[in-house]
């Protein structure tokens, strides 16, 4: 058996593991990207990179521009202000700033010139189709899962008209308004011809919600159903959300063999003046997830949590319930120090039965830095873990490393989903 640790190997094992991690194609299982059929909903290019809400939040710390003034500026003017505040007046050292530079460098641009007009000129010369191929190739991404909301007035008509299939992009059905603002959503559904009332205990309302979920799951060919949740999410509970989950969402997921993704920990609009950049984080009582996994063993659950303090408890829950697949270092945890800590802990507690990362990209180009940065960390941890196995006398073959990395980068997720 040829081992990557064998003394006769020409290439040191660490370099082989790094090469495998760097080159294994990934399935990016949660993004906010769109396929080209959605036209301008697919964001890309330097100005969209600069006005990403992660950077907006940071720019307000380094600029005293009034909120209303900033929001009245054009996208280009906002990008100018952010470039000046975060890249020129201070070193762009935060993860979100460094990410822009990693991406630009990978695209072959000379970042040290600090030439924003020059960068804009280069992007203006790109064709979106070629740029998608280029970014996916640089990031090593084989498939992108979108976040698709039937409640989004820009996105919905595109689905309703029917769109050209693009094998690289798959859909996930996002249902936050259905569960978190049921009163308003009930009227929206009623306006769209679903016979619902505000009363979620009514059989007719539940069957109509299920009809709505079926229609949309089929229309978009959803791979899973998903929601982000506030830290105070509880289950079971007398809330509309809990009732709808139990009586409509979970039966729907069982019927269509779809996992239900729950992403708890986000406190929406902690500072509403920051708009999309104004959400915060809070600690969740994960008993809700435990109850769901225990009471509904026929359902599959996907979960990532926003609070660092919830990560260990989530890992332990995944050890207890094989109908729970945990994924990604989400949003405020998608920074090198926390990716390292969380991924190492997950590997130590779960082996390879989880998905370490998703990009959450909102701008196409971001997949380049998000995956390059995460791959380096995953490689470092794996090198260390295989070396520890070698110390225990277990020699890992190259094929075994390839198999493991495939699992981490989408294989385990696809198996869990039954894709």
Q: Work out whether 28 is an interface residue with ligand FIX (CB under 6 A).
A: no
Q: Which residue has the tokens 């307000």?
A: 60
Our CB check for ligand FIX shows the closer of 362 and 406 to be 362
Our CB check for Zn ion shows the closer of 208 and 360 to be 360
User: In the bound complex, what is the minimum distance in angstroms from residue 335's beta carbon to ligand FIX?
Assistant: 12
Answer for which of 252, 362, 370, 373 binds ligand FIX (CB under 6 A) is: 362
| CA-wise closest residue to 331 among 405, 380, 268, 285 | 268
User: In the bound complex, what is the minimum distance in angstroms from residue 226's beta carbon to ligand FIX?
Assistant: 8
Q: Work out whether 360 is an interface residue with ligand FIX (CB under 6 A).
A: yes
Produce one character per residue of 78-106: b if its CB has 16 or more CB atoms within 10 Å, e if not.
bbbbbbebbbeeeebebbbbbbbbbbbeb
Q: What whole-number distance in Å separates Cα of residue 223 and Cα of residue 287?
A: 26
Our CB check for Zn ion shows the closer of 103 and 359 to be 359
Q: Work out whether 331 is an interface residue with ligand FIX (CB under 6 A).
A: yes
Binder of residue 24, out of ligand FIX, Zn ion, none (CB less than 5 to 8 A by kind): none
Residue with the CB atom nearest ligand FIX in the bound state:
228
The two tokens of residue 266 are 């986000």
The residues that touch Zn ion, with contacts defined as CB under 5 A, are 360
Q: Which residue has the tokens 């791979």?
A: 223
User: In the bound complex, what is the minimum distance in angstroms from residue 330's beta carbon to Zn ion?
Assistant: 7
Binder of residue 301, out of ligand FIX, Zn ion, none (CB less than 5 to 8 A by kind): none
Q: Work out whether 370 is an interface residue with ligand FIX (CB under 6 A).
A: no
Our CB check for ligand FIX shows the closer of 206 and 329 to be 329
Binder of residue 366, out of ligand FIX, Zn ion, none (CB less than 5 to 8 A by kind): none
CB 47 within 8 A of CB 120: yes
Q: Work out whether 357 is an interface residue with ligand FIX (CB under 6 A).
A: no
Our CB check for Zn ion shows the closer of 49 and 200 to be 49
Our CB check for ligand FIX shows the closer of 263 and 286 to be 263
How many positions of this chain bind ligand FIX (CB under 6 A)?
7
Q: Work out whether 228 is an interface residue with ligand FIX (CB under 6 A).
A: yes
User: In the bound complex, what is the minimum distance in angstroms from residue 85's beta carbon to ligand FIX?
Assistant: 21
| CA-wise closest residue to 35 among 160, 152, 145 | 145
Our CB check for ligand FIX shows the closer of 249 and 401 to be 249
Binder of residue 270, out of Zn ion, ligand FIX, none (CB less than 5 to 8 A by kind): none
Our CB check for Zn ion shows the closer of 58 and 360 to be 360
Q: What whole-number distance in Å separates Cα of residue 170 and Cα of residue 146?
A: 6
Which residues are near ligand FIX by CB under 6 A? 32, 228, 263, 276, 331, 360, 362
């Amino acid at each position: 058996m040829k081992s990557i640790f064998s003394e006769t190997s020409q290439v040191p094992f660490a370099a082989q593991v790094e090469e495998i991690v760097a080159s294994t194609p990934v399935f990016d299982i949660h993004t906010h990207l769109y396929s080209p059929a959605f036209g301008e909903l697919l964001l890309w290019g330097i100005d969209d990179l600069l006005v990403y809400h992660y950077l907006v939040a940071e720019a307000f710390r380094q600029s005293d521009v009034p909120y209303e003034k900033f929001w009245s500026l054009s996208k280009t003017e906002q990008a100018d202000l952010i470039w000046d505040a975060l890249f020129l007046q201070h070193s762009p050292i935060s993860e979100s700033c460094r990410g822009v530079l990693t991406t630009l460098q990978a695209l072959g641009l000379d970042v040290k010139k600090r030439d924003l007009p020059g960068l804009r000129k280069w992007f203006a010369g790109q064709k979106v189709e070629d740029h998608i191929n280029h970014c996916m190739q640089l990031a090593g991404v084989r498939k992108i899962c979108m976040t698709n909301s039937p409640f989004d007035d820009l996105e919905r008509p595109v689905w309703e008209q029917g769109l050209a299939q693009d094998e690289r992009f798959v859909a996930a059905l996002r249902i936050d308004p259905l569960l978190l603002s049921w009163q308003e959503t009930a009227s929206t559904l009623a306006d769209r011809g679903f016979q619902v009332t505000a009363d979620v205990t009514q059989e007719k309302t539940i069957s109509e919600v299920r009809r709505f979920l079926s229609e949309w799951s089929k229309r978009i060919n959803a791979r899973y159903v998903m929601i982000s949740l506030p830290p105070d999410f509880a289950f079971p509970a007398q809330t509309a959300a809990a009732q709808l989950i139990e009586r409509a969402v979970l039966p729907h997921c069982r019927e269509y063999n779809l996992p239900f993704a729950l992403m708890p920990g986000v406190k929406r609009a902690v500072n509403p003046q920051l708009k999309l950049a104004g959400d915060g984080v809070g600690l969740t009582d994960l008993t809700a997830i435990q109850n769901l996994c225990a009471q509904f063993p026929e359902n599959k659950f996907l979960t990532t949590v926003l609070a660092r303090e919830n990560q260990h408890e989530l890992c332990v829950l995944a050890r207890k319930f094989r109908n729970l697949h945990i994924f990604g270092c989400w949003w405020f945890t998608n920074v090198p120090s926390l990716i390292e800590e969380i991924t190492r802990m997950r590997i130590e507690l779960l082996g390879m039965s989880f998905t370490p990362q998703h990009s959450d990209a909102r701008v196409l180009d971001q997949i380049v830095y998000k995956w390059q940065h995460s791959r380096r960390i995953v490689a470092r941890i794996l090198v260390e873990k295989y070396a520890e196995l070698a110390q225990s006398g277990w020699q890992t073959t190259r094929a075994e490393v390839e198999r493991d990395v495939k699992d981490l980068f989408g294989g385990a997720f696809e198996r869990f989903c039954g894709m």
